[in-house]
Amino acid sequence: MFLKTLRIRNFMPFKGWHQIDFPGSDTKNVVIVFGDNMRGKTSLLNAIRWAFYQNALDRYGEKIPLQKLVNSDAAGEDEWDLEVQVSFEHDNKQYEISSRAEKRRGVGTPNRPEDFVVATDLQINGEVVRGDRVAHEINRVVPEQISRFFLFDGELLQEYESLLADDGDQGKRIKEAIEQALGVPTLISGKNELRALRKPYDRQWQQDLKKNQEVKSFMEELSALTKRSEDLEEAKAKLQDQLSSAKHQYQELQQQVNAAEARYKQKAELDQYVSSRTKVSQQIEQIELRKLESVRDAWLDVLRPDLERQTRDLRSQAAADALVLAEIAKAPHLREMAQSSLDSGVCSLCQSELSTESRQILLGVHGSGETAGEIDRVATRFAESNQLANRLDGVRYPQAKKRIAELDATAMDLSLEETRLASEIDRLRDELQGFDSDETNRVRRAAENANAAIRTLEAKFSQVDEELEKINTKQQSLRLVINQNESAKNQRSGKIVDLISTAEGIFASAVGMMRDDLRMDIQEKATSAFKQLTTDTSYKGLRINQNYGLTIVDEKDRDVSLRSAGAEQIVALSLIDGLNQTGRSTGPVIMDTPFGRLDPRHRSRVLQYLPKSANQVVLFVHEGEVDPERDLMQINSKIGAVFALERVSSSQTKVVRK
Amino acid sequence: MVTRNQDDHALSALKRAAQKASKTISDQLLADLYAIQREHQFDVDRAIVVEKMEKRIVAEIEAGNAPAEGE
Amino acid sequence: MSEPTQSTQAVDPAQIGIGEVAHYNLERLYADKHFPEMRNAYKFAIAYALSKGARPTKLESSRKNVFSISTIDPDGLLRLAIETLYPVGDESPYRIAERLADWGVGEVTRLVYEEYKSIGDLLPDA
């Protein structure tokens, strides 16, 4: 089987029509679709799933209700119909499947799946397939039970990894799916239906043989066993019903538990935010205290301009005084001479009488009539000015205004943070309204009880089965004995019973043999894939367990128990590949984010291996997972088409061919 | 999904199981019964399947092929 | 002829005070957490008055003691500031301080409670 086209309309983030064409070549059989997380890669996977089986799954593997599949913008415009069309080829026949959902007439705004009408059309080679046969035809080519293996969501790799635990619930479900894929149920239903077929003939034979005295007592014993067997079958049917409803109940409770876990996480988030907010509030308080503290000596800041001006004035005065003092210091002898001339009235130099002008000049030299007292005064003033200026210079100003501004800025940031936290807290409180952790614990306990009930029922079921087997065996031996009797042997009804029960036994033991064969087959194919994917040369291969879980085996045949997340992923991919090859002839492999946890070397190997392992490979990846330049270069020759999912808005994506 | 590969596995298992059985029945019968199951593996209505198997078995008896004592 | 220098010592009081209305406002400013301690408010008021060139001649209301000198001016900076920026004459700078504080508290109170200023707002820009 290989895909040719996918067309989608109004499905999840895809508004209007979008199309992906898959190249038809054998050599270029890889299609890459790039998209960031939340852009719609998983939606494409779901679109294919929805086209085939009319269901889409969320990350927990639960069905997404139909009204949530409609593109929200389209829904906003009251356009509530969506459609997915897939065309593919299989066994040389062209298949066109188209699934549509429309709002039911009379419905205003749909809020549950029942508000829609869903229809699926299938054409094979242009001929329309009758409605009731569509599911059958689709399942022949792409059975829903194994869809998880070729519509592969990388996020669900954990499921496969849990196969290692023999007892896990997940593991059992996967095991059933695998066996379904591998055809084991065909033999099982063969066995069961042969047994069902035998019963009327058994009764007939017993009737016929009632007249045979020789075998009468054996027949009576056989009759009794048959009756007991029928009672047990009835009990079994009842148990089956109980088991179904217990499982259903458990599922519902488990859903509630899952929802509750999400709420617990939110509660933890809320507590975290509340604690953060308290811290921030405390920090804000601290800042207020520090602001207050800054004001302690702010009185000095108030006086700073005046004090500094005063200091400058003092310095100027001192500088002026210094000049004067310097002048005075420069020429003491001139002053002495001028002084004595003035005192005597005669010039000391030339001994002539002092004229008025001379007297003036001498006064000038003396220095504007300054007396010793004047000089002292200036000197003192000079000293005092400097002293005071020095004291004033020594004043430390707190610069409170600057501090306060800085603290205010910090307080502003903190306040914004506080507001943000407050709104997150409100949001979470709203969402958690009605969240009752007691209630949650109650539900969790109820789920555990339901699980225990299931186990009990399953145990009873096994018991009944065991007893039925025992009865069956006894019946076989009785029949053998009875058939020694000539006339008994020749009863037609007896012959039929004999034939049916022989066939039944053969089918029964064939089931065990086929399981073993298949396990070995898967082991072989998975190992071969594993060897091509792993980079660790000490790993010899893989070993398979009863639940189709795989263990890595080293060269000494020892189980490698601790594996890295990357190794887990490789093993899971090997299992998928092994299953794909064992379980079906050819078909596409469609993988969503398969490379999440792989290092570049493993990634490179997986990329190189995939195109060989299936006839068509579609990879949905995001750029963080795969480096378009480096990783894709290696398989460039195999890439037939590349698409990108581009954001139109938060609620819309478009498909673009690159 | 049963493919040709799976048919091989199933038929081979049936053959081996038949060899171990205390009575022998024809390989053809087993193959035919298996084929019926395979064709109707997804049918919900099982009554048709059981009917077909019945017809085949009865035909086998009428042809005189009762199970023989085993090896 | 020697002029009297500023070193003519007027006698410093042991306690410094303020008018009782201003005292009430001082307590109010402190209680409303505008200052870490009342003494900071007191000095701030003095500084504010000095910066505005106020020359109050008397207290606005009847006097009461508030602080000891050693409490209010342990490092002598207050005295220095007043002596530097105010015509002290032969009065003790601390007596002058009381009138300045009294006037200053009145102004700061008005600015804070009627014009909603913060103390930071009253500081000169850096």
> From CA C56, how far away is CA C97, in angstroms rounded?
10
- From B1, B18, B13, select the one nearest A1 (Cα to Cα): B1
pLDDT at C4 over 50: no
Nearest by Cα to A512 from A144, A191, A212: A191
Structure tokens at A75: 């829904």
In a domain, residue A575? The reply is yes
Which residue of C36, C47, C85 is in closest CB contact with A299? C47
Q: Which of A366, A393, A420 is the last residue of a domain?
A: A393
Are the CB atoms for A309 and A370 separated by under 8 Å?
no
Question: Domain range spanning residue A107?
Answer: 2-185+514-657
Question: Given this model, what pLDDT does residue A180 score?
Answer: 72
Question: Does A131 share its domain with A6?
Answer: yes
Least confident of A390-399, B53-62, C1-10, C88-97: C1-10
Domain CATH for A453: 1.10.287.1490
pLDDT tens per residue, range C51-95? 999 999 999 999 999 999 999 999 999 999 999 999 999 999 999
Query: CA-nearest residue of chain A to B27?
Result: A503
Specify whether A459 is located in the same domain as A592.
Answer: no
Res C40 pLDDT > 80: yes
User: In chain A, which residues touch B (CB < 8 A)?
Assistant: 135-136, 139-140, 142-143, 145-146, 181-183, 185-187, 189-190, 193-194, 196-197, 492, 495-496, 498-500, 502-503, 505-511, 513-514, 517-518, 521, 582-585
Q: What residues have CB less than 8 Å from A570, skipping those under 6 apart?
A: A530, A533, A534, A598, A602, A606
Domain ranges of chain C: 15-116
Partner residue facing C44 (CB), from A293, A298, A306: A298
Domain range holding B14? 4-69
Mean pLDDT of B43-65: 90
In chain B, the residue whose alpha carbon lies closest to the alpha carbon of A518 is: B9
Q: Are residues A453 and A320 in the same domain?
A: no
- Contact yes or no for B29 and A503 at CB 8 A: yes
Q: Are residues A380 and A406 in the same domain?
A: no
Please tell me which of the candidates A299, A305, A388 has its beta carbon nearest to residue C124: A305
pLDDT at residue C2 above 60?
Answer: no
Contact A181 B1 (CB under 8 A): yes
Q: Which token pair is B14?
A: 């049936």
Whether the Cβ atoms of residue A303 and residue A419 lie closer than 8 Å to each other? no
Q: Residue A3 is which amino acid? A: L
Cβ(A651)–Cβ(A623) below 8 Å: no
Residue A207 in any domain: the answer is no
DSSP H helical ranges for A584-629 = 600-613
Contacts of A370 (CB under 8 A, 6+ apart): A328, A378
Contacts of B13 in chain A (CB under 8 A): 187, 510-511, 513-514, 517
Instruction: Give A248→chain B minimum CA distance, Å.
Output: 21
In a domain, A453, yes or no: yes
Distances (CA, A) of A300 to A314, C43, C66: 19, 9, 20
**Cβ contacts of A140 on chain B, cutoff 8 Å:** 1, 42
**CA nearest to A290 within chain C:** C36
Phi, psi of A190 (to 5 degrees): -60, -50
- In the prediction, which pLDDT does A169 show? 60
Q: Are A607 and A582 in contact (CB under 8 A)?
A: no
Mean pLDDT by 10 residues, chain A (658 residues): 91 91 82 77 87 84 86 90 93 92 89 91 92 83 73 66 54 71 83 91 84 82 89 91 85 80 84 94 94 94 95 91 79 73 78 75 62 78 90 93 93 93 90 78 88 91 92 86 79 87 92 86 89 83 79 83 72 80 70 74 82 82 73 81 84 83
For chain C, list the contacting chains (3+ Cβ pairs, <8 Å): A
Does residue A272 sit in the same domain as residue A335? Answer: no
DSSP code for C34: S
Query: A630 and A539, same structural domain?
Result: yes
Domain count, chain A: 3
What's residue A304's pLDDT? 95
Q: Are A427 and A292 within one domain?
A: yes
Whether the predicted interface score ipTM is above 0.90: yes
Same domain, A292 and A303: no
Q: Is residue A494 part of a domain?
A: no
Could you give the CA distance from residue B65 to residue B57 in angstroms, rounded to a whole number?
A: 10
B41·A507 Cβ contact <8 A: no
Helices A216-294 + A437-484 axis angle, to 10:
160
Q: Specify the pLDDT at position B71.
A: 44
Q: Cβ of C124 and A391 within 8 Å?
A: no
Q: Do A170 and A133 share a structural domain?
A: yes
Burial class (CB in 10 A: 0-12, 13-18, 19+), A181: buried
Residue pair A574/A533 in contact (Cβ under 8 Å)? The answer is yes
Given the structure tokens 């599911």, which residue do they identify? A135
Lowest mean pLDDT among A64-73, A622-631, C98-107, C113-122: A622-631
Helix (H, G, I), strand (E, B) or coil at A153: strand
* A362 belongs to a structural domain: yes
Gyration radius of chain B over CA positions: 13
Is residue A211 a part of any domain in this protein? Answer: no
- Whether chain B lies against chain C with 3 or more Cβ pairs closer than 8 A is no
pLDDT (0 to 100) of residue A157: 61
Q: State the Cα–Cα distance between residues B52 and A232, nearest whole angstrom.
A: 26
Instruction: Verify whether the Cβ–Cβ distance A306 to C50 is below 8 Å.
Output: yes
Tally of CB atoms within 10 A around A314 = 22
If one counts the domains in chain B, the total is: 1
- Say whether both A113 and A40 belong to one domain: yes
- A416 within some domain: yes
Shortest alpha-carbon distance between residue A470 and chain B (Å): 17
A91: domain CATH number is: 3.40.50.300
pTM score above 0.90: no
Identify the residue among B4, B22, B33, B37 best suited for mutation to test binding to A, counting A beta carbons within 10 A and taking the highest.
Answer: B37
Work out the end-to-end distance of chain B between its first and last CA atoms, rounded to an integer number of angstroms. 35
Sorted by sequence, the CB contacts under 8 Å of residue A344 that are 6+ apart come out as none
